[in-house]
Amino acid sequence: MIFAQGKLLPDTQGKALLEGLEARLNAVWAGPPLEAETVIAAVDALGRRLERGEFDALLARFLPAGMGLGELLPLLRRESLEAKLAAELGPDPFAPRERAKTTAQVLPLGVLFHIAPGNMPGLPVYTALEGLLTGNVNLIKLPHGDKGLSLAAFRLLAEQEPRLAPYLYAFDLPSGRREELKALAELADGLVVWGGDGAIEAARTLAGPGCKLMEWGHRLSFAYVSGFENRAEELSALAAHIVDTGQRLCSSCQVIFLDCEDRGEGESFCREFLPHLERAAAKRSGPARGVASSLSGFAALLGRIVDGKTEGEALFQGRGCSVLLRPDRELELSPMEGNVLVKLLPQRELIPALRRQKGRLQTAGLICDPRRRAALTGLLARAGVSRVTRAGSMSAAFPGEAHDGEYPLRRYLRVVDVEQ
* pLDDT by residue, tens only, the chain of 420 residues: 899 989 999 988 888 999 999 999 999 999 999 999 999 999 999 989 988 888 888 877 877 655 556 667 778 899 999 999 999 999 888 888 888 899 999 999 999 999 988 777 778 998 999 999 999 999 999 988 787 888 999 999 999 999 999 999 999 888 888 889 999 999 999 999 988 888 888 888 888 888 999 988 889 999 999 999 999 999 999 999 999 989 988 899 999 999 999 999 999 999 999 999 999 999 875 544 444 544 554 455 555 554 555 678 999 999 999 999 999 999 999 999 899 999 999 999 999 999 999 989 999 999 999 999 999 999 999 999 999 999 899 998 887 788 888 899 999 999 999 998
Q: So what's the pLDDT on residue 288?
A: 44
pTM value? 0.83
Q: Are strands 413-419 and 102-108 parallel, antiparallel or unpaired?
A: antiparallel
Contact 228, 313 (CB under 8 A): no
The Cβ-side half-sphere exposure at 11, using a 13 Å CA radius, reads 7
21-36 per-position pLDDT tens digit: 999 999 999 999 999 9
Q: 325, 333, 353, 317: which is closest to 269 by C-alpha?
A: 325
For residue 49, how many other CB atoms are within 10 A of its CB? 13
Domains of the chain: 2-218+404-419 (3.40.605.10), 220-393 (3.40.309.10)
In whole angstroms, give the CA distance from residue 6 to residue 232. 50
**DSSP H or E run through 292:** helix 287-306
Taking the C-alpha atoms of residue 399 and residue 94, their distance in angstroms, rounded to an integer, is: 21
Please state, in angstroms and rounded to a whole number, the distance separating the CA atoms of residues 126 and 400.
14
How many CB atoms are located within 10 Å of the residue 414 CB? Answer: 14
Contact between 292 and 368 (Cβ < 8 Å): no
Q: Would you say the C-alpha torsion 336, 340, 346, 347 has a positive or negative sign?
A: positive
Percentages (nearest 5) of helix, strand, coil residues in the chain: 45, 20, 30
Among 316, 313, 363, 373, smallest CA distance to 343 is for 313
pLDDT at 271: 97
Instruction: Name the DSSP letter for residue 98.
Output: E
CB burial string 104-129: b at 16+ within 10 A, e below: eebebbbbbbbbbbbbbbbbbbbbbb
Q: What is the pLDDT of residue 154?
A: 94
CA neighbor of 366 nearest in space, from 271, 250, 228? 228
Distances (CA, A) of 43 to 46, 73, 109, 154, 235: 5, 10, 21, 11, 36
CB 222 within 8 A of CB 359: no
**Residue 1, pLDDT score:** 87
